[in-house]
Amino acid sequence: MNYTIFGKTNLNVSRSAFGVLPLQRVGMDEAIRLLNMAYDGGINFYDTARGYSDSEEKVGNALADKRGKIVIATKTPSTEAEGFWRDLETSLKYLKTDYIDIYQFHNPKEVPLAGSAGYECMLKAKEQGKIRFIGVTAHRLDNAEKALESGLYDTIQFPLSAISSESEINFAKKCGEKNVGFIAMKAMCGGLLPSAAPSMAFLRDMDHVVPIWGFQRESEIKEVLELEQNPPALTGELLSDIEKYRSELAGNFCRGCGYCRPCAAGIEIDWCARMPLLLRRAVWQNFMNDHWKAEMNKINECTNCGMCKPRCPYGLDTPQLLKAALKDYNEFCENAGYK
């Protein structure tokens, strides 16, 4: 495993971190096994959130005995005092610790600034030794830029991968100039990149950038640990792959972040809106079954209530995207001989 000093936090973190969100989908025993497998492979940085159901509890159960050797980042969606303290105490309890290394506001609509209730709570929690560093996560570039310009945040978490736009990459570089640690979420672009290698190679140039790989399976951890043995370089071949992915994924596409949920009609928007890409970039046979047919058909029940669209941080016209995805899915099924 390779390590880096994480911006102004001075924390020595593994260059590959564990994004704990997907562990919500596995049982407690399996989660403990996977977390320990990552730890044994040298991963010492774990990013979770109050909002990821039982993920904090899984981290606490798996790694409490290694507390001094790991860096824990978690998040609160609350920017008001009552919710902030309730979340912080709950996180400490489930993580089985008395401090959190990096405490982040979880994708706030407006980044809390000095003097706001939320930021004052952060300062107080730091004074009390309950948190060590203050971070924020953002999906919108304007919000992330606001956080950086404020000079109030030790870390910023933002989507970044080998196929990010020039403005997103420039933003990451600006964070480096200000020595702000950059936690890169969605380094595999929500499962649309075929492996971790392109983003690992692409991001490695920036010492202050650490991707949090969302692990749910042993094979995913193994892939990253193996790559860390001999980190991929941005060679001609990898560079041309990256160019290819960029042109294939150009334009407005659903990143699968799920911020538009819940849907009033029960549509799994983050999966269904991505279906055209999943059919072509993942194992399409996995989506040719009664379960996915039924999920996709729910799109017919969209009432155009308009609740999802303003929640999309990428400004996508979600209902339109879903209708196009259903049309494409039905055509794909027909061509594949699946009725």
Query: How far is it, in rounded angstroms, from Cα 137 to Cα 52?
Result: 14
- The span from the CA of 41 to the CA of 57, in Å, is 21
Of 241, 268, 270, 295, the one binding ligand SF4 (CB under 6 A) is 270
CB of 198 to ligand SF4, least distance (A): 20
Rule CB under 6 A: choose which of 273, 296, 326, 333 binds ligand SF4: 273
Which residue from 268, 318, 326, 329 is in contact with ligand SF4, where contact means CB under 6 A? 318
Q: How far apart are CA 132 and CA 203, in angstroms?
A: 25
Tokens 């609160």 correspond to: 76
Vertex 151 angle, CA 48 and 177, to 5°: 90
Minimal distance in Å, beta carbon 143 to ligand SF4? Answer: 14
Q: Is 165 in the site for ligand SF4 (CB under 6 A)?
A: no
Contact indicator for 212, 47 with CB cutoff of 8 Å? yes
9 contributes a contact to ligand SF4 by CB under 6 A: no
Tell me phi and psi for residue 253, to 5 degrees: -135, 155
Using CB under 6 A, which residues numbered 297 to 316 contact ligand SF4? Answer: 302-308, 311-312, 314, 316
At residue 45, φ and ψ (nearest 5 deg) are -125, 120
Q: Is 326 in the site for ligand SF4 (CB under 6 A)?
A: no
Total number of residues that touch ligand SF4 (CB under 6 A) = 28
Candidate list 131, 260, 279, 325; residue touching ligand SF4; CB under 6 A: 260
- Cβ pair 79, 116 in contact under 8 A: yes
Structure tokens at 18: 């564990």
The correct pick among 3, 85, 259, 284 for binding ligand SF4 (CB under 6 A) is 259
Report the interface residues with ligand SF4, using CB under 6 A.
254-260, 263-265, 267, 269-270, 273, 302-308, 311-312, 314, 316, 318-319, 322
